[in-house]
Amino acid sequence: MFPNSILGRPPFTPNHQQHNNFFTLSPSLYSHQQLIDAQFNFQNTDLSRAVSLQQLTYGNVSPIQTSTSPLFRGRKRLSDEKNLPLDGKRQRFHSPHQEPTIVNHIVPLSGERRYSMPPLFHTHYVPDIVRGVPPFREIPFLEPREITLPEAKDKLSQQILELFEACQQQVSDLKKKELCRTELQREIQLIFPQSRLFLVGSSLNGFGTRSSDGDLCLVVKEEPVNQKTEARHILTLVHKHFCTRLSGYIERPQLIRAKVPIVKFRDKVSCVEFDLNVNNIVGIRNTFLLRTYAYLENRVRPLVLVIKKWASHHEINDASRGTLSSYSLVLMVLHYLQTLPEPILPSIQKIYPESFSPAIQLHLVHQAPCNVPPYLSKNESNLGDLLLGFLKYYATEFDWNSQMISVREAKAVPRPDGIEWRNKYICVEEPFDGTNTARAVHEKQKFDMIKDQFLKSWHRLKNKRDLNSILPLRTAILKR
């Protein structure tokens, strides 16, 4: 996608000895002066001369010499690793299917319509995030755990499953995004050699569709950055690099100076639209939290997908236009499933606080879904009844004026008194940082439109028991 000839030199291969302290991530990883230096290097020198950085530390601890660590020396696990505690090792699941696996293999193969399979990391695999970034290569995974999709005995449930199987993200979709991420990371490291690019959001959280955009998070340090100044400056350099060096492969790069600034662009090869932010660390954490919920119970993913398609069809799924973001919608579905008389989902942050602590270092976050077994609910409601119940809950039962949706608490809680929550029409708590994910809904007209759509759709679906009454199935499938 980004051939080395564009740079006029061999592939970029990080020097592990030079960057052996990479992911200790000092809070002052890139100082203001270093950003200025980066811009100077970008404008006045060969891009291969990247920013020179200080030795890294984490907090007040001495730099960690990962290259000499007994656990991370070379590619293979050494004997010292055998003594790790049980919860520090990858779980192994066996599958009768012997399909080849790929990087971030999170979705079923196109030919396997009855199974939905999340990835589990190979026992010998140590994430490259703790060592610096090695040359691109496929990372082996264990055979994924099989999750049988729910049976559909009624027409409405069958329609929901048909939509899900036609529209869920496929392995080929993810491979395109992962290839672009890998190549872009290599390019960005010419400017910021100790940075790391993460694929986040629906592409990895289990709720992606074939038409889902790609979300990328560029991490320069584990501490927050000032989004108005530091993040904008970093993205300015990235945007300029895209425009000047990668114009043949990246289309329409735009720097959006929003509250959380992003660079929007389109990859010409895969035709995938991407949004790239800087250091939105919570987005990495909630990606793997949602991924755990996605595979905890086999009704979750089909239900979320049909609700996202329904909301998009009725134009209430666009935060940039003052309605609900996809993230808020997913949290609303999870909350509903947690608050049924016989819950379908628990609060996994309460049951597994160590696995989902905000203090976990980024290179360990991906392990959390592997440590959580499937949840066995006594609730046997079918997908059609759950969709009806979701619409009814938010149309007639949830108290928008006094309650906040909390997936972390697995219940509706009283609205906080903080300024962020005042005069807000919809309050959805972000499970890690406690902010309002639905703050975009700030106009009463948009709020009334959202509530009205819940009520109308509930009445129509209750009377017809046909998904086409609220979402034209053929159109939705064609859009993927």
pTM, rounded to two decimals: 0.73
| Nearest CA-CA partner of 322 in 449, 228, 423, 212 | 449
Written as six digits, the tokens of 122 are 């190979």
**CATH number belonging to domain 155-478:** 1.10.1410.10
Contact 407, 331 (CB under 8 A): yes
Q: What is the pLDDT of residue 34?
A: 55
Q: What is the pLDDT of residue 370?
A: 87
* Residue-by-residue pLDDT tens, the chain, 480 positions: 544 433 333 333 333 333 333 233 333 344 545 554 555 444 443 433 343 333 323 233 333 233 333 333 333 333 343 343 333 333 333 333 333 333 333 223 233 333 333 333 333 322 333 233 333 333 333 233 457 899 999 999 999 999 999 999 999 999 999 999 999 999 999 999 999 999 999 999 999 999 999 999 999 987 889 999 999 999 999 999 999 999 889 999 999 998 899 999 999 999 999 999 999 999 999 999 999 999 999 999 999 999 999 999 999 999 999 999 999 999 999 999 999 999 999 999 999 999 999 989 888 898 888 889 999 999 999 999 999 999 999 999 999 999 999 999 999 999 998 888 988 999 999 999 999 999 999 999 999 999 999 999 999 999 999 999 999 999 999 988
Q: What is the pLDDT of residue 38?
A: 53
**3-state SS, one letter per residue, for the chain:** CCCHHHCCCCCCCCCCCCCCCHHHCCCCCCCHHHHHHHHHHHHHCCCCCCCCCCCCCECCECCCCHHHCCCCCCCCCCHHHHHCCHHHCCCCCCCCCCCCCCCCCCCCCCCCCCEECCCEECCCCCCHHHCCCCCCCCCCEECCCCEECCCCCCHHHHHHHHHHHHHECCHHHHHHHHHHHHHHHHHHCCCCCCCEEEEECHHHHCCCECCCCEEEEEECCCCCCCCCCHHHHHHHHHHHHHHHHCCCCEEEEEEECCCCCEEEEEECCCCCEEEEEECCHHHHHHHHHHHHHHCCCCCHHHHHHHHHHHHHHCCCCCHHHCCCCHHHHHHHHHHHHHCCCCCCCCCHHHHCCCCCCCCCCHHHHCCHHHHCCCCCCCCCCCHHHHHHHHHHHHHHHCCCCCEEEECCCCEEEECCCCHHHCCCCCCEECCCCCCECCCCCCCHHHHHHHHHHHHHHHHHHHHHCCHHHCCCHHHHHHHC
Q: Where are the domains of the chain?
A: 155-478
